Amino acid sequence: MPTAIEKGSILIHRVFDIGGEISLARAEQLLSADSGPRMKFATNTRKAVIIKDSPLKADLGEEILDLSSAKYPVRIFARIWNYGVISVTLEMLIPPGMEWGTLVKLASELETSGEVDLLAVSRKNALKKRIMPSVTNPAEWDIFEDYITYIVEKAPGIEDPKEFIKKVDVAALILAEDKERLGDESRSFILESAIQYSSTDLAIIDWNSALLIEPDGQRDVADVIEFSLTHLLEFRYYDEMLSRKLEELYDTMDNKRESVVNIFRNFYADIAEDSSRKFMEFSEFLGRVENSLKTVGDPYLAVVFRASAMEFHFEDWKKSISRKMDTLAQISQILHGEVNTRRSHWLEIIVIVLIAAEMVPMMLDLWKFLR
């Protein structure tokens, strides 16, 4: 018998990097007319997470999302993070009585719909324009993260979440697969990743979407997933920036070695200084990721964060960034050595020239005496 969702919602995330840093205090002033409260987690049952420099939440109104199957009203809000990120969320209520199979088809539509991206980008651009005075080093990256969180609050059999997920095709929803029936291995792998805080709730977090069973309607787990998603974007951003920087360094070093026209200019000093600055910036970012989520009391949300980090491959990104940072540090040391060597050579030349200049009058006097 098909399972109908009596109450639930869908959170559609788009996460953008718009610059180096954002002054949340300044942004709050600029949005004082309509900004919401800073991000806070529920305190009645889960006191597990404190986010340093908690983001600013802004309500961006309502809109109609036009999909091929139907038009759905969505509420749009954004969170502004101090490390230069804006996460835009479209919240869609699941129509009461929607069957699970229909929800899977809706998931497939959301994954492929260009309307979601257009709507999120337009609201992000409008918000960015308003808070631009609070942004340091504005330089938007053309890549963004996307994610969907499905929240079920009420459905037949939801009182026992572990039994409930056995009766519905969770894998099809998570992977937005409405055409092919997934194999048992794929389905089992997804179900085995379920985590619980109590016997009445459950979370399944995958790399592209998540299913949350929350009878009391709490959103703290969804907030942690969104928080993790912003870090994923930053990891990808820094990894790509490091790759680009290393390529520029290699090209610049090759070009300067081949140049004979500007032999009296030291190009390596600027390159070495820029490399050192980038190394410090990346090191600061990694430290911020490590210290941004503090846990107290019940560690359940920390478990959610670690599950998200595993699905988003944080460790792989960190290793990739660390390798490139080590390469960058080695290049910086080599360039600084090159700078010092060239300076030493020039000092030797200057000393020789000065000695020669001192010797000229003496040689002239000697020549006159001998003549």
What digits encode the pLDDT tens for the residues 54-84?
Answer: 889 999 999 999 998 899 999 999 999 988 9
Q: Are residues 178 and 35 in the same domain?
A: yes
In a domain, 368, yes or no: no
Same domain for 133 and 94 = yes
In terms of domains, do 325 and 188 share one? Answer: no
Asked whether residue 371 is assigned to any structural domain, the reply reads no
Count helices and strands (H / E) in the chain: 10, 14
pLDDT given for residue 293 in this prediction: 57
- On whether both 242 and 191 belong to a single domain, the answer is no
User: Taking residues 79-104, what's their average pLDDT?
Assistant: 94
Last residue of a domain, one of 191, 218, 245: 218
Q: Looking at 163, 187, 218, which one is the last position of a domain?
A: 218
Is pLDDT of 301 > 80? Answer: yes
Domain assignment present for 142: yes
In this prediction, residue 217 carries a pLDDT of 87
The answer on 266 and 183 residing in a single domain is: no
φ and ψ of 62, to 5 deg: -120, 160
What is the number of domains present in the chain? 2
C-alpha to C-alpha distance for 119 and 76, rounded to whole angstroms: 9
- Tell me: pLDDT of 299 over 60: yes
In this predicted structure, which of 14-23, 207-216, 296-305 has the lowest mean pLDDT? Answer: 296-305
Contact by Cβ (8 Å): 8, 95: no
Q: Could you tell me if 142 and 211 lie in one domain?
A: yes
DSSP calls for 76-90:
EEEEEETTTEEEEEE
Distance between CA atoms of residues 178 and 104, nearest Å: 6
The dihedral through the CA atoms of 272, 277, 280, 282 has a sign that is negative
Q: Is residue 369 part of a domain?
A: no
Q: Does 224 fall in a domain?
A: no
Q: Where in the sequence is the domain holding 12, given as residue range(s)? A: 4-218
pLDDT tens-digit map of 216-269: 888 889 999 999 999 999 899 888 888 887 887 777 666 655 443 344 445 556
Percentage of the chain exceeding pLDDT 90: 39
291 and 206 in a single domain? The answer is: no
Statement to judge: residues 291 and 335 lie in one domain: yes
| pLDDT tens digits for range 127-155 | 999 999 999 888 888 899 999 999 999 99
Q: Tell whether 238 and 204 lie within a shared domain.
A: no
Structural domain contains residue 104: yes
Per-residue pLDDT band for 36 (boundaries 50, 70, 90) equals low
Q: Is residue 234 domain-shared with residue 204, that is, in the same domain?
A: no
Residues 274 and 156 in one domain: no
In a domain, residue 319? The reply is yes
Q: Among 161, 193, 218, where does a domain finish?
A: 218
Residues 176 and 255 both lie in one domain? no
Which tokens belong to 66?
A: 């036009």
**Residue 246 covered by a domain:** yes
Which pTM value belongs to this model? Answer: 0.82
Q: What are phi and psi of 263, to 5 degrees?
A: -70, -15
